[in-house]
Structure 1
Amino acid sequence: MKEQVILVARKDPAQQEERFASSLEELQSLTETAGGEVKKIMIQKRERIHPATYIGEGKLAEIKEEIDQSEAEIDIVVFNDELSPGQLRNISDRLERRVIDRSQLILDIFASRARTKEGKLQVELAQLQYLLPRLAGQGTELSRLGGGIGTRGPGETKLETDRRHIQRRIDDIKRRLQTVVKQRNQYRKRREVNYAFQIAIVGYTNAGKSTFFNKVTDSDSFEEDLLFATLDPLTRQVSLPSGFKALISDTVGFIQDLPTTLIAAFRSTLEEVTEADFIIHMVDASHPDHSEQEKTVHKLLKDLQADHLPVLTVYNKRDLLQDDFIPSVFPSLTVSVHDPIDIKRILDKVENTLKEEWYEYNVFIRASEGKQLQQFKQDSIVVSVKFHEDREGYALHGFIHPDHPLKNKILQ
């Protein structure tokens, strides 16, 4: 049985209409992803946030009336903004219903999506850090946790109202996460020693990243028409058309107004991006607010100090477009990741973009040095191979990353 939900949003008169509509649509998708059913959306146009109740007294009374008169039993009221501990307490008292904000809703979805040990620890940390200042207003709530939106998560079922208990748990999780980060760094160093070229797929949540990842790696990462379908970063090997081997990572979807506790907690899942050599930015071209979503991703890449990396923007869901689509950045492609021809176009484009950045080489390898020939085929983009009988060897023409150790073999 789905929980019945009322959404509440404040519209700042200065805010653009499209941006507000997109944010509300996102809140509705988040609610549905968490298993709720939206019964009504209530909006108040208001310049300033009310310090005690977020929205005005009159609007609050109107929401209470809607709850009392609704045919469906309203279980929960979700606000499209982060509420302060005091606001949360005052609104809950007034409406006599469970009240959560956008941040808590996102945390809830993350809690139900985390699969790995690290993912679960990250979510629990973010939830506890969010909950700690709000304990005073959760007295009656905590006693009946265990079901429903906003109550999921590894750390919430046995939560006590004792702040020290929570603080101890936060410290414990941070210690355990440091161990995980060390292990991840060791794994990364191994990859660097073996000089693996890294591609990270980034993009707004639900843009088609996991579908593309699965198609190019023949794997079965979780893909669904839901927000935040992927949480834990996955890395697999991919072969580009020339035979060049790279590692490709699928990352957590970005979102507008991501809670600050989450950006901090999920830094390590996004670290795959900062360690990448190349970024594929997947955009849902059919989304009415795709340009705003692009800006959100660019901003987060800048925050992660990954905005200097070469990027290929892939405008996905071409099959859902009604009108002619004009890309706003280059290099870019407009595709449907369900079309095998388009998948090949993306990989070709990645390779061509790399050729423009990389060192162009010509090298001769003796026929007896088969291992070295194989190495060049895997670790560089080989454009042509010609066998010379008189010299008993192969002449290779191709492109290689300027920092790759193999480059020394070319210059000898």
Structure 2
Amino acid sequence: MDIEKVIIIAVNTEQTMSERFVYSVEELKSLTKTADGEVMHLITQNRKSPHRATYVGEGKLEEIKELCETDEIDVVIINDELSGSQIRNITEILDVKVIDRSQLILDIFASRARTKEGKLQVELAQYAYMLPRLHGQGANLSRLGGGIGTRGPGETKLETDRRHIQKRMDELKARLDVVVNQREQYRLNRKRNKLFQIAIVGYTNAGKSTLFNKLTSSDSLQEDKLFATLDPLTRKMRLKSGLNVAITDTVGFIQDLPTALIAAFRSTLEEVKEADLILHVIDVNAPDKEDHEKTVLQLLEELDANEIPLITIYNKKDLINEENFVANSQPSLLVSAFEEKDLDKIKVSIEERIQDIWLPYSIFVEENNGNLLSRLQNVTLVTKEEYVEEAFSYKVQGFVNKNHPIMKEIKE
């Protein structure tokens, strides 16, 4: 796809170049790159609040219009969520495609969705975003053409009346319910099998997918772009003790995620709620890692997942000076997803947390009962196994999920 020329406009309401403002602008640049755009200019303005009609002052807009004409700009991206009338007013003055931060994120999600569920969720989120902004948008939408901000439903569908869109949203919700029920069935099956469930969460681009791939020896999409993973993947992972667990790679979190997206992806994020343990991956080299950490923890709280045991994984240690590193959270590990010994450290740490959650057990298994021995190794966390000659048995010690069917044999 052709790279589009972009101007970013951002209003700073705090009158100072606060860290949060600087970071949100840098993040918008990264989002633009992810959507195949090249930022030609960054225009900022200090104001008490964004202009109600045109976001920035009209004088500033005239300056931007000259830049659009001189540099043949394809799209202007605003670093906030705008109303339909603001988008219309700015577009009329600049005479180029104008989208806001939320539209850009929705657009990236639309281009990244691979599964049926992901595509349905994104389309529903886009309609939910567009519905309150339909008034007077017809002319602007017909100007959109292709490229950034037009993936997903497309302008022709969005030009149709509110009733059609509402009907389409109802259809999408019904279809999503079917898919969500299927996902719920998969989750119930995992629960029925009493597989210990781990969810990997983190800010977008923290290295979750790379870590997931290395831990499970799989090859899901991983690249240095925001939202490389959109659809959650679940794989089995074998720990050092031999215990099999289920581990899920989830969509990356981000500051100011559009409300429509959080609502649409609620079912996907349910994977996190069902976890027995959460691995929170943080890019230790990110300039705003503290903000990233707060954003993720806040979203976990909104999902009612803040009580689930959690290990903080500070990733990409090869990019920093380890001597200066201080962890904000405990328990935590400082790792590189590319170092085998660090992957082993993560697996050992997972086993330590399982020991906190499960019940200890000790059992003698007769030497001719290889079936039970094998099952203990697969479904419980075996910490010690030794052959006792005088008993012609193996003494097995470890930890077990108190609700697992094997408990019956352990008790006997």
Q: TM-score, normalised by structure 1?
A: 0.96
Indicate the residue corresponding to 1:33 in structure 2: 34
- Residue 16 (structure 1) shift: 7.0
Cα displacement string for residues 257-303 of structure 1 (whole angstroms, at most 9, x for unaligned residues): 00000000111111110111110000000001001000000000001
Once residues 370 and 307 of structure 2 are traced to their aligned partners in structure 1, the CA distance between those partners, rounded to angstroms, is 37
Indicate the residue corresponding to 2:46 in structure 1: 45
Cα displacement string for residues 285-332 of structure 1 (whole angstroms, at most 9, x for unaligned residues): 000100100000000000110111111100001111146211110000
Indicate the residue corresponding to 2:393 in structure 1: 393
- Residue 397 (structure 1) shift: 1.0
Alignment of 1:12-91 (within 5 A): 12-13=13-14, 17-68=18-69, 70=70, 72-91=71-90
Structure 1 residue 340 corresponds to structure 2 residue 311: no
Secondary structure of the 1:136 match is coil
Once residues 235 and 243 of structure 2 are traced to their aligned partners in structure 1, the CA distance between those partners, rounded to angstroms, is 14
Once residues 353 and 12 of structure 1 are traced to their aligned partners in structure 2, the CA distance between those partners, rounded to angstroms, is 44
- Residue 50 (structure 1) shift: 2.0
Cα displacement string for residues 118-161 of structure 1 (whole angstroms, at most 9, x for unaligned residues): 11000100011111222234312333555110001155554442
Q: TM-score, normalised by structure 2?
A: 0.96
Structure 1 residue 294 corresponds to structure 2 residue 293: yes
Secondary structure of the 2:327 match is coil
Q: Percent identity?
A: 56
Number of matched pairs: 410
Alignment of 1:130-149 (within 5 A): 130-149=129-148
Indicate the residue corresponding to 1:153 in structure 2: 152
Change (3 A) 1:15 1:366: farther
**Maintained 8 Å contact 2:15/2:46:** no
Secondary structure of the 1:185 match is helix
Secondary structure of the 1:207 match is coil
Once residues 315 and 133 of structure 1 are traced to their aligned partners in structure 2, the CA distance between those partners, rounded to angstroms, is 40
**Maintained 8 Å contact 1:128/1:155:** no
Report the AA paired with residue 44 of structure 1: Q
**Maintained 8 Å contact 2:84/2:137:** no
Indicate the residue corresponding to 1:234 in structure 2: 233
Change (3 A) 1:137 1:319: farther
Once residues 238 and 363 of structure 1 are traced to their aligned partners in structure 2, the CA distance between those partners, rounded to angstroms, is 25
Once residues 153 and 118 of structure 1 are traced to their aligned partners in structure 2, the CA distance between those partners, rounded to angstroms, is 14
Once residues 77 and 273 of structure 2 are traced to their aligned partners in structure 1, the CA distance between those partners, rounded to angstroms, is 34
**Maintained 8 Å contact 2:11/2:47:** yes
Once residues 229 and 175 of structure 1 are traced to their aligned partners in structure 2, the CA distance between those partners, rounded to angstroms, is 27
- Residue 335 (structure 1) shift: 0.8
Where does the alignment leave 5 or more consecutive residues of structure 2 unmatched? none
**Maintained 8 Å contact 1:195/1:404:** yes
Secondary structure of the 2:301 match is helix
Secondary structure of the 2:64 match is helix
Once residues 270 and 368 of structure 1 are traced to their aligned partners in structure 2, the CA distance between those partners, rounded to angstroms, is 45
Where does the alignment leave 5 or more consecutive residues of structure 1 unmatched? none
Cα displacement string for residues 188-244 of structure 1 (whole angstroms, at most 9, x for unaligned residues): 211111111110000000001100111111111000000000001000000011111
**Maintained 8 Å contact 1:380/1:401:** yes
- Residue 85 (structure 1) shift: 1.1
**Maintained 8 Å contact 1:6/1:40:** yes
